[in-house]
Chains A and B, each alone.
Chain A
Amino acid sequence: MRIGVLAIQGDVREHRRHLEHLGAEAPEVRRVRDLDGLHGLVMPGGESTAIGLLMQEEGLLDALTARIRAGFPVYGTCAGLILLARDVEGPPPPRLGVLDITAARNAFGRQVASFEAPLDIPALGAAPVPAVFIRAPRIVRVGPGVTILARWQGEVVMVEQGALLATTFHPELTPDLRIHAYFLDKVRAARQAS
């Protein structure tokens, strides 16, 4: 399986390592041609306005939106989630807008307010998943077609909608592979469906 990792900003090598540990090839994506032959895409964190502007310049917003409408699986973390979100509170970046949620930017505060928390994610089994929140957004609205997969202190932190997966936290920063494995399962299901 070839899962691209958007390489404009973010923990690119960490995402790649997690995917490679799980047996996938994980090429870096910067240009539309880098989407060729991919079965899915991971969109890491970073600063969503800068990432969105560069994606727009590269033609990646149009190219990806078309593929997503045809069922292409994408997993967005943090800024990646913001770029997937239909609506954004805070300065709205150019984005894909395909995931029916509203994301509030930097909702937990400044860098010093970043934290780690063990999450109960029933879909991933009984053992809590360590989650790293870095200037994370909050999901403040969830549309009808979106499934909530995890909460932390009542806040929605993980959702899926069809072949799209999104978390406000960073699984690439802990040794736990379950979130990436869950995304690969979604990719396999999407391939079987097509």
Chain B
Amino acid sequence: MQLGADGIFVGSGIFKSQDPAARARAIVRATLHYNDPKIIAEVSENIGEAMPGLEIATIAASERMQERGW
């Protein structure tokens, strides 16, 4: 938002997090108050783990999207 975006698009970042409702609420409030560090800090507490990531090297070649197809 600070870079001038009009809004945020988020999906799996919420659905695959540990506490989707809490994380969704936090993202909504942080987006609304994107220039208020105090609020961003407050809403970032106690919202559980973020969506886990997968390191690319651990993904089998057959599962890597960019190498599928012909």
Contact = CB atoms under 8 A, between A and B. Distances in A.
Interface of A: 8, 30, 54
B9 to A, nearest CB: 14
B36 to A, nearest CB: 8
Say whether chain B's binding surface is mostly helix, strand, loop, or mixed. Answer: helix
Q: Is the interface of A mostly helix, strand, loop or mixed?
A: loop
The 5 closest A-B pairs by CB, nearest first: A54-B32, A30-B32, A30-B33, A8-B32, A54-B28
Nearest to B7: A9
Contacts of B28: 54
Contacts of B32: 8, 30, 54
Contacts of A54: 28, 32
Interface string B10-35: 00000000000000000010001100
B48 to A, nearest CB: 21
Contacts of B33: 30
A130 to B, nearest CB: 23
B70 to A, nearest CB: 36
A115 B59 CA distance: 49
A30 B33 CA distance: 8
A30 B32 CA distance: 8
A11 to B, nearest CB: 10
5 contacts: A8-B32, A30-B32, A30-B33, A54-B28, A54-B32
Nearest to A8: B32
A130 B52 CA distance: 50
Contacts of A30: 32-33
A84 to B, nearest CB: 21
A54 B32 CA distance: 9
A134 to B, nearest CB: 14
B53 to A, nearest CB: 29
